[in-house]
Amino acid sequence: MSGNPDFDIYRLPEDHEAIREAVRAVAEDKIAPYAAAVDEESRYPQEAHDALVASDFFAPHVPEEYGGVGADALATCIVIEEVARVCASSSLIPAVNKLGSMPLLLAASDDVKKRYLTPLAAGESTFSYGLSEREAGSDTAAMKCKAVRDGDDWVLTGQKSWITNAGVSEYYTVLAVTDPDGPRGNNITAFVVEKSDEGFSFGEKERKLGIKGSPTRELHFDRCRIPGDRVVGEVGAGLKIALATLDHTRVTIGAQAVGIAQGALDQAVAYVKERRQFGRSVAEFQGVQFMLADMAMQLEAARQLVYVAAAKSERGDADLPFFGAAAKAYASDVAMQVTTDAVQLLGGAGYTRDFPLERMMRDAKITQIYEGTNQVQRIVMARQLLKG
């Protein structure tokens, strides 16, 4: 039956497997050797940045018409997964490039797309995303950052919090209230802000538990003037664009979580095969085997859910909100469980920085929090179910 073509439909295309092999080679050769130092020194992974640009994995999602390679959503997830397998901080480069530019792909004019996606595809800048605020995290519609029209321009005032790769990126998609008296959720507009814009500055780097190589900072706007031709989509449609963006990009966080979990499982398997106790390999103990089996089973289930969600993202399926939320929530929960179990399997060694497991466990935690906490993901899923 294996020769029946009907059974070939549920398998990754050969070109996607080729992408995996190519990314894995780059990750192991150019990114993994620096992962521990990037974490230890809390520094941006410039080596990974340069390697991703050189190999066209920097912003693979950008369409060919803007100079990109036009990778589909599944291929982009594979890129992020394979980089996260060795360094979660580095995997945020392609992931956040998609997050920051997805609003443009969904809603921007051709001129705005060409102006900003072309340099992104060329690796000239990363692209960050400014949605959350100190008092508007899960409740994004409660944001206070505002933009006031001034002639053909807009004047931006306020702040954004928890912005990934802030200070590194040249470009930022920023959401701001443009009609304070308008209906909640329909009074927000998206803009492209450039790092060089007057009145735009950054807060100090956050001191974080994990993903230490990816700078997280606040964005500050002090009467920052934005030309009117940098509006993304329609005025007032910003929140709808932002939520649609997250439907697509939550899948990439699921892919990041899968990559972290895979890296942890690989490390754990290698260790228990070499480690000996009571005169035999630790891998021979049934209790250890059961742990490994559960880790691998949960990981594979997460991977399949992420890949299905990625396919739905590519097609723009109506049920993407459910599957995007499910993929992100389940994969991140699995990543936290698998990395914790991997540390356990290494025992005392897993708790030291001599092995990458403690870093992977710390990095995994954020996948349960950003781009919507897993509690919010469950609200999204439930609402989709109740809508029928």
Residue 17's contacts (CB-CB under 8 Å, 6 or more residues apart) are none
Half-sphere exposure of 29 (CA within 13 A, CB side): 10
What pLDDT is stored for residue 5 in this prediction? Answer: 55
Beta carbons of 193 and 171 less than 8 angstroms apart: yes
Cβ count within 10 A of residue 22: 16
Beta carbons of 255 and 303 less than 8 angstroms apart: no
Give the architecture-level CATH label for domain 5-121.
Orthogonal Bundle (1.10)
Residue 293 backbone zone (phi > 0: left; psi -120 to 50: alpha; other: beta): alpha
Q: Which residues pair with 35 in a beta bridge?
A: none
Nearest to 59 by CA among 83, 79, 84: 79
Spell out where 165-290 has E strands: 171-177, 188-194, 200-202, 216-226, 231-232, 276-277, 280-281
Residues of the chain with CATH 2.40.110.10: 127-236
What pLDDT is stored for residue 1 in this prediction? Answer: 44
CA 383 from chain centre, in angstroms, equals: 23
Each residue's pLDDT tens digit, 101-130? 999 999 999 999 999 999 999 999 999 999
Average of pLDDT values for 277-297?
A: 97
Residues in the chain: 388
Catalytic entry in 81, 82, 358, 371 = 371
Average of pLDDT values for 275-287?
A: 96
Residue with tokens 């964005």: 219
d(CA 11, CA 14): 9
What pLDDT is stored for residue 12 in this prediction? Answer: 92
Q: Is 377 exposed, middle or buried (0-12, 13-18, 19+ CB in 10 A)?
A: buried
Residues of the chain with CATH 1.20.140.10: 240-387
pLDDT greater than 60 at residue 2:
no
Task: Quote the mean pLDDT of the chain.
Answer: 96
Beta carbons of 73 and 98 less than 8 angstroms apart: no
Cβ count within 10 A of residue 6: 7
What pLDDT is stored for residue 9 in this prediction? Answer: 72
d(CA 193, CA 221): 10
Banded model confidence at residue 388, pLDDT cuts 50, 70, 90 = confident
CA 356-360-364 angle, 5° bins? 180
Model-level pTM? 0.96
Each residue's pLDDT tens digit, 181-193? 999 889 999 999 9
Q: Which residues pair with 128 in a beta bridge?
A: 172
For the question of residue 64 being annotated catalytic, the response is: no
Each residue's pLDDT tens digit, 319-353? 999 999 999 999 999 999 999 999 999 999 999 99
Beta carbons of 31 and 91 less than 8 angstroms apart: no
Q: Phi, psi at residue 153, to the nearest 5°?
A: -100, 175
Its sign, for the CA torsion 121, 81, 171, 245, is positive
Question: Is 240-387 assigned to CATH 3.40.50.11740?
Answer: no
**CATH T-level topology, domain 127-236:** Butyryl-CoA Dehydrogenase, subunit A; domain 2 (2.40.110)
Beta carbons of 280 and 133 less than 8 angstroms apart: no
Cβ count within 10 A of residue 110: 9
Spell out where the chain has E strands: 127-130, 146-150, 153-164, 171-177, 188-194, 200-202, 216-226, 231-232, 276-277, 280-281
pLDDT greater than 60 at residue 7:
no
Banded model confidence at residue 8, pLDDT cuts 50, 70, 90 = low
CA 44 from chain centre, in angstroms, equals: 16
